[in-house]
Chain A
Amino acid sequence: MPGSVSVSITVNGNKHECAVEPRTLLVHFLREELDLTGVHIGCESTLCGACTVHLNGRAVKSCTVLAVQADGQEVTTIEGLAPDADNLHPLQVGFWEKHGLQCGYCTPGMIMAAKQLLDDNPNPTEAEIREAIDGNICRCTGYQQIVDAVLHAAEAAGAA
C-alpha cells in the first residue's frame, strides 16, 4: 500500500502487525482489518460513544483515534471482555439481567464506558453512573435499565 505505515497493536491479548494508511481510524482498523465488528460506528465525531474501546485500560472513542496512535499499545474491545458465553463479564450479565439493551447497537460501547467507571469507582451511585455514561447515547432504552445494569454489575462484583 503506498504511503502505508506498519503498526503493531495488541488487541484482546493478540498482537497484530499490519500495514495501514496513516489516516486509518482505529475503529476502521478494528472492524475492517481484524473483523471485530462488535465495535460500532454511530457518529464519527466522538459524540455518541458507540465505538468505545479501551486503550491501555482507558475508555476511548475509537472513531477519533488513529490506528497509528495505538501502535505498540493494548486495545480491548467488547469481544475481549469475556472468553466465552459461559464466562460473561459482570457488566454483560447486568445488561442481560436488567434489560439494559434493546437494539443492541450502543451496547458494546456502553459496556466499555461503564467498565471504565467500575474500574475507577467500584460502587458508583446512580447519579455517578448517569454522569459516566453521558458520552454514550442510547436511543432505545431511556437509560434507566442501563443504570440498573451497571448497578447490578457493581453489586455482583462487590459480592464476588
Chain B
Amino acid sequence: MVAFRPNSVGKAIKRREDPRLIRGLGTYTDDVKLPGMTYAAFVRSDFPAGAIRSIDTAAAADHPGVVAVYTYADMEGQVGPSPVGAEMPGMGKADHPLLADGRVLHVGQPVAVVVAETPYAARDAASLVEVDIEPREAVVDVEAAMAPDAPRVYEELDSNICIQVPVPNPEADKLFEQADQTLSMRLLNQRVAPFPMEGRAICAHWEDGPGKLTIWTSNQAPHFVKQQIAMCLRIPEIRIRAIAPEVGGGFGAKIPTYPEDPLLCWVSRKLRRPVKWSETRTENLLGMTHGRGHVEKIEVAFQNDGRVLALKGQTISELGAWRSFYGPFIALSTHTMSCGCYDIKAVAWETFAVYTNTMATEAYRGAGRPEAAYIIERVMDEVAAATGLDPVAVRRRNFVDKDAFPHTTASGAVYDSGDYEKTLDRMIELVGYDDAREAQRQARDDGRLVGIGVAAFTEVCGIGPSAGTAPHQRMGTWESATVRVEPSGNVTVYTGVSPHGQGQETAFAQMASDAFGVGIDDVVVVHGDTDQVQHGVGTFGSRGIAVGGAALHMALTKVHAKATRIAAHHLDAPVDQIDYEDGEFTVKGSERKLTFRQVAEMAHLWNVAVPGEEPGLEAVARFEPPGTTFPFGAHLCQVEVDPESGQIEIQRYVAVDDFGVVINPMLADGQRIGGVVQGIGQAMWEEVQYDDGGQLLSGTLMDYAVPRAKHFPRMVLDNTVTPTDVNPLGAKGIGELGTIGATPCVVNAIVDALRPLGITNIDMPAKPERVWQAIQAAASAQ
C-alpha cells in the first residue's frame, strides 16, 4: 500500500467549493434555466386515507398559461410504479403509483400535476383542480396499526406489518434469570423532518433529437436515480443523464428517487419540453421522507456492580404509507448496534416495520444507529441510577477492552478497532469531570436543577460492503474513482460519491495533491453527473472518505505506479531503483530525475512512448470495503432546567470523538458540530406531529422547531486517533457521529437534572411544556 507524503492531508485546508458559494454563484437545481421551460405544481391529497371519487381538471386546464394537467389515468401503464430499493422475502409489499390511483394513503400524496408556462400560473391552476375523496379511517398510531383488526393501509395486504424480524436468544433468557437486577424501559425516538435548507427540486429535460433525458435533481445518489428512472420509464439507462448539481443538504432524505422524479421525466418526454419543480417548505414537510419514528422497548439484565449481562429489545418502526428506498430496513441496524461500546453477553431482539397513513420514513443522519445509541446510553444511565454508581464508572465497567478488537458483538456486528477508555479519559480531562460534579452538587444544594449527561457511543460507518447490503437493496455499496492526469500534469478526479456540503472537492484534491506533488488548485474534483463520472454509488452512511476516498487512493496508486514505470523507462533504470518524493522521480543514488509533470507530458506524446504501456496517464478504481468502520466518541452535556417554566438551558457541550485518520480537521469539525446541533434539535425541540386523524400538524416553520444560533453555547471539541485497517486511509467516517452521540447525551443530562425530583425519563423532544408537566406530576406524586 502506497503512503503518499502528507503535505496537505491532515491540514485544515480551506474549501475549494467556497469561492463560488460565498458569491452566490453556485448552481442549484432551481437555478437551471432552459429555453422553453415549463413549471410544475402538484395537487396533493388533503386526506390521509380514502377513495378518489372524481378529479375535475377542466378549470385548471382552461387557466391561462396552463400547458397540461395530468392524473393517474393519463400515465397508467406508461410509467411507474414508484421506485423502491430494498426488498426481502416475506415482506408485506404493494406497488406505489407516482400519482394516486383511485385511493390516497397519506396527506400530501401527489394526486395530479399541473404544468404551465410560469410557476405562478402552475400554482394558480393547481388550486383549481377539484379532487373528491371519500375519506376512510386512517391508521396513524404505529402500535395500534399492528393490531390484527386495525384498519389497513393496503386493503390487499393481510396486515400493516411490512417486516417482522425476531432474533430470539435462549442465552439472554438464562442471563435474565441469573442477573442481580433487571429493569425495563419504553423509549420513543420521535419522527423528525430532515429539513435540508434546499428542499427537493427537479428539472427534467427530454431531448427528442438525441433521444436523451437529462434530469437535474437535488439528490445524494445520482447514479441510483439514473437506474431508477430507467426502470420506471422503461427506457435504457444509456439514454439518461442524472445530475446532482449543487445540492443544499440532504441528511439521508435525498437518497431516494421520489415519485416526482420519474413523473416529471415522463411529463418532459410527453410535452417535448423541459419542466421544473421546486417544492415549497410545506410540501417539504409533507412530502420529503421523515426520519426516526421508533418505539423501543428494552429490558436489561445487570449485576449490582454495574455489569450489563444481556438485553432484550423490541423496535417498532413507523414505515409510513409506502416503502421508500431503504425505509423498512433502517430499524434492523438498531438491533445490530444495540450493544454500543459494551461487551454484553447476549442480545435478543425483535424488529417490526409497520405501515401507517403518514409520509414514508427513510434514512436520516444515522438511520437506525442513533436509535440504538439512544437506547443503550439511556440504559447505562438507568443502570447507574439503580446501582448507585457514577454513569462514567458504569460505562468503564462495560467497555469492550481495547485489546479485544476486532470484536464481534452479541448482535453480530464486527467492530474494526476501538479504544473507548482513551477517548473517555480525554473527555473527562477536558471537562474536569469531578469538579463539574462537585459544582452540580453545590447547585443542587442551592435548589437548582443542574444536570450532567454523558454518552459513550459507537456507530457503524463506511457503508458497504456490498455483500452486507445487497440482499436488501438493488445496488452494491462499493465506490469508484477515476484519476485523469492531463499532459500538463494537472489532475481531474471523478468520484462516484455525490457530496452536498461535506467538502470532498477539497479533501480529494488534498489527496491528489499529495500523491503527485501538484498544487491543490491544480486538481479539479468532478462529481454528481452520470455522464461525466464512471459508475458510482453516492454520499450517505458516512462513506464519502472511508469508501469514496479509499477508491480514490486506489486510483491514485495505479496512476502513480504507471508514472513510476514511465519515469524508469526514460531514466533508463529499473523500476525498483526509482525513488519518488514530492513530485520528483529520482534514480537511487544519482542526480537523474524527472518531475511528475514531465512524466505526465511524456505519457501523452507519441515520440516518448513506453514499450508495453498504453499512452495516457489515467486509472479507474472501484473499492469494495471488506468491512464497515466503527467510529466512537465520548460526549458530555450540562443543562439547567428552570422549574417554573420547564425551559432548558444548554450550558456546556464537550465532544471527544475518534474517527480514525483525519484528512481535513476543519471539515471534520464542521461535520461534528453540525451533527451535534441536529441531535440536540431532536432531543429538545423537533417533532413531526400528525393528529389522531392523520393530518400533519407540523407543516410550516411556525410549527416545526429547527435549531437556531442562539440556542447553543460554544462547543468544545477534541479527538483521538484510532485508525481502521478496513480501508487504506485508516479513516472511519464522520458525517453521522454528531446526531448519534448528542440525543442520549442531552436527554441523560436533562434526566440527571430532574432525577432528584424522582423523574427517571423524559421523552424527546424535551419541550418546556413536557418538562414542566413532568415536574408537576412528580411534585404531586410526592
Contact = CB atoms under 8 A, between A and B. Distances in A.
Nearest to B700: A45
Contacts of B772: none
B18 A142 contact: no
A104 B120 contact: no
**B contact face: mostly helix, strand, loop, or mixed:** loop
B24 A78 contact: yes
B230 to A, nearest CB: 28
A147 B701 contact: no
A140 B23 contact: no
Given A42-B197, A99-B666, A85 B673 contact: no
Interface in A111-156: 111, 126-127, 129-131, 133-134, 136-147
Interface string B116-154: 000110000000000000000000000000000000000
Nearest to B20: A104
Contact of B501 (A41, A137, A140): A140
Interface in B30-49: 30-31, 33
B250 to A, nearest CB: 8
A60 B701 CA distance: 18
A134 B710 contact: yes
A23 B124 CA distance: 12
A104 B673 contact: no
Contact of B249 (A47, A103, A129): A103
Which range holds the interface residue count of chain B? 35 or more
B738 to A, nearest CB: 8
Contacts of A108: 24
A43 B701 contact: yes
Contacts of B738: 142
Contacts of B198: 40, 42, 103, 105
A115 to B, nearest CB: 12
B196 A141 contact: no
Contacts of B678: 139, 142
Contacts of B667: 99
A23 B24 contact: no
B672 to A, nearest CB: 8
Given A43-B701, A142-B673, A38 B15 contact: no
- The CB with the most chain B CB atoms within 10 A, among A21, A88, A96, A97, is that of A96
A101 B18 contact: yes
Contact of A102 (B24, B281, B502): B502
B251 interface: yes
Contacts of B8: none
Contacts of B246: 103-105
Interface string B177-201: 0000000000000000001111000
Contacts of B119: 28
Contacts of B666: 99
A67 interface: no
B236 to A, nearest CB: 33
A74 interface: no
B500 A130 contact: no
Contacts of A142: 673-678, 707, 712, 715, 738
Contacts of B710: 127, 130-131, 134
Looking at chain A's contact residues, is the secondary structure mostly helix, strand, loop, or mixed? loop
Interface in A62-88: 77-79, 81-82, 85, 88
Contacts of B673: 141-145
Interface residues of A, number: 58
A137 B22 contact: no
Given A142-B677, A143-B677, A106 B197 contact: yes
A134 B709 contact: yes
A137 B500 CA distance: 17
Nearest to A79: B24
Given A37-B27, A44-B280, A102 B674 contact: yes
A92 to B, nearest CB: 4
Nearest to A89: B22
A142 B22 CA distance: 18
B21 A104 contact: yes
Contacts of A7: none
Contacts of B669: 99, 145
Given A130-B709, A139-B251, A141-B674, A39 B24 contact: yes
A92 B678 CA distance: 25
A55 interface: no
B669 to A, nearest CB: 7
A137 B18 contact: no
A106 B281 CA distance: 14
B25 interface: yes
Contacts of B715: 142, 144
A101 B120 contact: no
Nearest to B680: A142
B708 interface: yes
Contacts of B70: none
Contact of A105 (B197, B702, B707, B709): B197
B706 interface: yes
A68 to B, nearest CB: 15
A97 to B, nearest CB: 7
B601 interface: no
Interface string B274-292: 0000101100000000000
Contacts of A104: 17-18, 21-22, 26, 246, 248, 501
A26 interface: no
A59 interface: no
A89 to B, nearest CB: 9
A45 B281 contact: yes
B28 A40 contact: yes
A5 B13 CA distance: 50
Nearest to A135: B708
24 contacts: A35-B33, A38-B23, A40-B248, A42-B281, A43-B700, A44-B280, A47-B700, A48-B197, A78-B22, A78-B24, A79-B25, A95-B18, A99-B669, A101-B18, A102-B249, A103-B197, A103-B500, A106-B197, A131-B709, A139-B196, A139-B678, A140-B249, A142-B738, A143-B712
Given A104-B18, A147-B714, 17 more contacts: A23-B120, A28-B119, A37-B27, A37-B31, A38-B25, A42-B281, A82-B23, A96-B19, A97-B14, A99-B15, A99-B667, A102-B249, A104-B21, A105-B28, A105-B248, A107-B22, A138-B197
Interface of B: 14-15, 17-19, 21-28, 30-31, 33, 119-120, 195-198, 246-249, 251, 278, 280-281, 500-503, 666-667, 669-670, 673-678, 700-702, 706-710, 712, 714-715, 738
